[in-house]
């Protein structure tokens, strides 16, 4: 029914009066919004200050601080001093709690801002109500009308300060604490990351949507990014690429992740198919940048350009992952805030899982899941730079990912080279004396460091001062302790498999039950050390000083003791099967439990001379007080003429061998030598199958065989290779790195060629 003239006039009057009625409401809403904005701005600055404070502590934490673990750090806001370990355990949850409070305040502010926006005309002249908003980046980001450049910068500030900064702070806490190697605390830090991401997913869409409609925001976001169902394939490729980069068990799988990551943005464009010209143009630019980062990473992993190595690999990986998120999720018409949120949702939880503690079960599970792919290699390329380092560090054999073992190697281990490690630093004079190998008579003035039960896997402790340190049950697998001073240290039940102990000073150290399989103890100073029950299978003790050492019940099968000095060392009950005593010196030793297949050529039974006795440090000074007097007696006996010598079960001897053997294999008799070598090699192969560290030690001995004339390890490579390829299980040899396996195959080929040449020479002579 058409309106009358009177009704039309009333309708026009109402429309003309509407702006004047709305104006007071808009001003009131402006005042409410500005008041709330000022409050939230203060909270925002305080939150950024807390994150900055935490990051300052993180970047200021040294490896020595992590080792000591007792230095107090004040928690922000509550101003409570806690040990540094407590700081890294509780600071993440304080950041999450403050982030939650800030997000809730932002949501309340957003309601006021959207109400003001609805009551204010969209187009205003300069000096209008919108120009009277409180100057807070988030406020203008949400309802202001800035230009393109300023609007983009506002969006960047808001995204970085509210999404990137808290997540980066949490990840920085986790990354820095990896070297402490506390798996439980690392998982607590991961939970904090997951909580923060969950809070962002739950609250960020509500904060940014005008009607607080969480589902509507996500529908609009997915409609913008994934308008077609087939586009989800690109998301799957994206997630797979990030997972492969972070969890790859070999450099080859890592490279596949890089390739998939480079394909994912292009695949999204192809699957969606109707992006705007602007979207396509910018996507192509970002994709080109991503390819540039890929080229840099590819050169770093497989190339030979040393100039790239000046930048840490972790930085290249971070840039690539950031560029990947930007090129995949940038969209000019997507809901505001979606780029930062989606990038955080995909990347942050996987990063938290990818930052793994050395020896963590989660990392071993990742490596085990990829076991069917471990022998796969990319064709037509040579190993260089990081890929070569992956092999040389035996990352695959110890179940570590490429990211952990190579890219984040420095962040996952403590660097304590040449450090003086005491509970309280000694005086400068005493410290100088200790570095010079003196001053042990002042041991009572030292406050010895206690590291009992600590995890110090692959720690760098070359030439470190650890005199008298308590390292009971410490995990030191793969640690570099070469040239370290450990006189009088307590290493009972410590795990030292694969550790580098070359030239280490361990006089009087207590190593009862220590696990030293395959350890490098070349020319180590172990006078008076207590190695009772220590596991030294396959260890390299060439030239070691073991005078007066307690080796009762020690496991020395397959150990290399060539040139070692064992006067007064107690071998009672020790297991020496297949050990090398070539050119060693023994005297006043107990009878071992197993002593068959020993190489005792040119081994001598000689007591300590007066000069040698004087050169050995005073055991009462060097050793722990309760065993100093006990260990002094074996050294005294070792310098006294006596007829007591150990009797070995079976030995390979020559005309210069002095030890007594029940069964003698004469090296000059070809048949006896052949029988000895056959039995020895089978025994060593069986031993190598038991453990990766033993296998590594025996493999090292095999590699050195060509450099020593008439070595009993000559020909062993062929036996080890055959055992490794046999159908029966051999976990020790199977766990060798690809580089060690290749070297073993080459050694076996060389042995076969030498054997053929020897047969040809013998046939020619006949």
The tens digit of pLDDT for each residue in 269-294 reads: 778 765 555 555 666 666 666 666 66
Classify 746 as helix, strand or coil.
helix
Query: Can you give the pLDDT at residue 288?
Result: 67
Domain match, 383 and 371 both? yes
d(C-alpha 643, C-alpha 171), whole Å = 66
Instruction: Encode pLDDT of 17-47 as tens digits.
Output: 444 444 447 788 888 888 888 999 999 999 9
Residue 676 lies in a domain: no
The better pLDDT of the pair 185, 264 is held by 185
Residue 497 shares a structural domain with residue 391: no
pLDDT tier at 630, thresholds 50, 70, 90: very low
**Predicted local distance difference test score (pLDDT) of residue 377:** 55
Encode burial over 387-397: b for 16+ CB neighbours within 10 A, e otherwise: bbbbbebbbbb
Query: Is residue 578 in a domain?
Result: yes
Q: Is residue 674 part of a domain?
A: no
Does residue 434 register a pLDDT over 50? yes
- The pLDDT-based confidence of 538 (bands split at 50, 70, 90) is very high
User: Domain containing 186: what range?
Assistant: 18-212
Q: What are phi and psi of 447, to 5 degrees?
A: -95, 100
134 compared with 688, residue with greater pLDDT: 688
pLDDT of residue 77: 67
Residues 389, 429, single domain; the answer is no
Q: 101 - beta bridge partners?
A: none
Instruction: Give me the half-sphere count of Cα atoms (radius 13 Å) on the Cβ side of residue 260.
Output: 20
Instruction: Please give the pLDDT value at position 124.
Output: 59
pLDDT higher than threshold 90 for residue 533: yes
Is residue 3 pLDDT above 50, yes or no? no
Among candidate residues 644, 668, 692, the one where a domain is terminated: 668
SS3 label, residue 288: helix
What is the rounded distance in angstroms from the CA atom of residue 426 to the CA atom of residue 423?
9
In a domain, 220, yes or no: no
Residue 74, classed as helix, strand or coil, is strand
Instruction: Assess whether 284 and 202 both reside in one domain.
Output: no
Q: Tell me the two tokens of residue 389.
A: 């380092």
Q: How confident is the model at residue 384 (pLDDT cuts 50, 70, 90)?
A: very low
The reply to whether 5 falls in a domain is: no
Cα dist from 139 to 212, 247, 383, whole Å:
17, 40, 53
Q: Which pLDDT score is estimated for 728?
A: 72
Mean pLDDT is lowest, of 253-267, 275-289, 473-487, for: 275-289
Q: What is the pLDDT of residue 305?
A: 42
% of the chain residues with pLDDT over 90: 40
pLDDT digits (tens, 9 = 90+) for 547-584: 889 999 999 999 999 999 998 888 999 999 999 999 99
Q: Which residues are registered as beta bridge partners of 652?
A: 599, 665
Average per-residue pLDDT in the chain?
82
Domain co-membership, 397 together with 422: no
The residue among 543 and 437 whose pLDDT is bigger is: 543
Q: Are residues 138 and 100 in the same domain?
A: yes
352 and 270, same structural domain? yes
User: Residue 69's pLDDT band (boundaries 50, 70, 90)?
Assistant: confident
Nearest to 221, CA basis, from 380, 333, 299, 90: 333
Give the length of the chain: 766
Give the CATH number of the domain where residue 435 resides.
Answer: 2.160.20.80
Q: Are residues 236 and 342 in the same domain?
A: yes
Residues 494, 514, single domain; the answer is yes
Q: Do 496 and 622 sit in the same domain of this protein?
A: yes
Q: Confidence band (pLDDT; 50, 70, 90) for 429? A: confident
In a 13 Å sphere around the CA of 621, the CA atoms on its Cβ side amount to 10
pLDDT at 698: 94
Strands 565-567 and 585-587: parallel
- pLDDT for 367 equals 75
Higher pLDDT, 344 or 621: 344
Question: 396 and 441 share a domain?
Answer: no
Confidence at residue 682, expressed as pLDDT on a 0 to 100 scale: 95
Number of domains the chain is built from: 4
């Amino acid at each position: 029914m058409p309106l009358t003239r009177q009704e039309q006039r009333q309708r026009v009057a109402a429309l003309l009066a509407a702006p004047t009625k709305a104006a007071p409401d808009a001003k009131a809403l402006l005042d409410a919004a500005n008041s709330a904005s000022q409050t939230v701005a203060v909270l925002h600055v305080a939150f950024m200050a807390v994150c900055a404070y935490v990051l300052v502590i993180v970047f200021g934490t040294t490896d020595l601080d992590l080792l000591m673990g007792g230095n107090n750090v004040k928690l922000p806001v509550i101003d409570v001093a806690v040990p540094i370990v407590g700081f890294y355990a509780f600071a993440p949850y304080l950041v999450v709690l403050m982030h939650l409070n800030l997000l809730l305040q932002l949501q309340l502010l957003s309601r006021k801002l959207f109400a003001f926006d609805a009551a204010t005309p969209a187009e205003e002249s300069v000096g209008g109500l919108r120009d009277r908003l409180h100057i807070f980046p988030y406020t203008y980001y949400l309802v202001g009308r800035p230009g393109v450049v300023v609007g983009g910068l506002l969006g960047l500030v808001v995204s970085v300060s509210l999404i990137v900064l808290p997540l980066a702070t949490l990840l920085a806490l986790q990354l820095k604490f990896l070297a402490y190697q506390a798996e439980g605390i690392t998982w607590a830090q991961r939970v904090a990351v997951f909580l923060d991401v969950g809070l962002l997913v739950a609250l960020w869409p509500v904060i940014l949507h005008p009607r607080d409609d969480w589902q509507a925001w996500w529908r609009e976001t997915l409609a913008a990014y994934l308008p077609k169902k087939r586009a989800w394939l690109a998301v799957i490729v994206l997630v797979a690429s990030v997972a492969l980069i972070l969890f790859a068990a070999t450099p080859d799988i890592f490279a596949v992740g890089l390739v998939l990551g480079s394909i994912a943005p292009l695949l999204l464009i192809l699957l969606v198919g109707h992006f705007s010209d602007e979207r396509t143009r910018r996507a192509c630019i970002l994709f080109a940048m991503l390819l540039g980062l890929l080229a840099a990473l590819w050169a770093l992993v497989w190339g030979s350009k040393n100039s790239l190595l000046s930048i840490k690999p972790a930085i290249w990986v971070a840039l690539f992952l950031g560029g990947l998120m930007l090129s995949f999720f940038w969209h000019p018409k997507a809901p505001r805030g979606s780029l930062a949120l989606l990038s955080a949702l995909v990347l942050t939880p996987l990063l938290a899982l990818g930052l793994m503690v050395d020896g963590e079960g989660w990392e071993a599970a990742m490596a085990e899941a990829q076991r069917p792919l471990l022998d796969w290699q990319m064709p037509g390329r040579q190993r260089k730079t990081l890929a070569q380092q992956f092999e040389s560090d035996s990352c695959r054999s110890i179940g570590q990912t490429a990211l952990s073992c190579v890219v984040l190697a420095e962040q996952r281990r403590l660097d304590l080279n040449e450090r003086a490690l005491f509970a309280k630093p000694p005086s400068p004079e005493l410290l100088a004396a200790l570095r010079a190998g003196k001053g042990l008579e002042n041991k009572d003035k030292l406050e010895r460091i206690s590291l009992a039960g600590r995890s110090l896997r692959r720690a760098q402790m070359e030439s470190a001062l650890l005199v008298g340190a308590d390292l009971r049950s410490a995990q030191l697998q793969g640690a570099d302790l070469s040239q370290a001073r450990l006189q009088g240290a307590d290493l009972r039940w410590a795990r030292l498999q694969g550790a580098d102990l070359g030239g280490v000073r361990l006089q009087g150290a207590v190593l009862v039950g220590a696990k030293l399989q395959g350890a490098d103890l070349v020319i180590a100073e172990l006078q008076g050390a207590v190695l009772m029950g220590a596991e030294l299978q396959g260890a390299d003790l060439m030239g070691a000083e073991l005078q007066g050492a307690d080796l009762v019940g020690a496991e020395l099968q397959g150990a290399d003791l060539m040139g070692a000095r064992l006067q007064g060392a107690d071998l009672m009950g020790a297991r020496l099967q297949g050990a090398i005593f070539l050119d060693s010196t023994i005297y006043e030793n107990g009878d071992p439990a197993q002593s068959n297949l020993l190489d005792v050529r040119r081994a001598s039974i000689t007591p300590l001379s007066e000069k040698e006795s004087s050169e050995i440090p005073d055991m009462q000074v060097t050793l722990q007080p309760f065993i100093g007097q006990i260990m002094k007696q074996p050294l005294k006996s070792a310098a006294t003429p006596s007829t007591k010598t150990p009797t070995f079960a079976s030995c390979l001897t020559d005309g210069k061998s002095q030890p007594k053997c029940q069964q003698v294999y004469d090296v000059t008799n070809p048949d006896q030598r052949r029988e000895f070598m056959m039995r020895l090699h089978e025994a060593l192969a069986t031993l190598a199958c038991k453990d990766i560290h033993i296998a590594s030690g025996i493999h090292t001995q095999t590699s050195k065989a060509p450099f020593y004339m008439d070595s009993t390890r000559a020909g062993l490579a062929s036996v080890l290779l055959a055992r490794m390829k046999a159908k029966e299980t051999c976990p020790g040899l199977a766990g060798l790195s690809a580089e060690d396996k290749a070297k073993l195959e080459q050694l076996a080929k060389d042995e076969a060629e030498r054997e053929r040449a020897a047969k040809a020479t013998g046939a020619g002579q006949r």
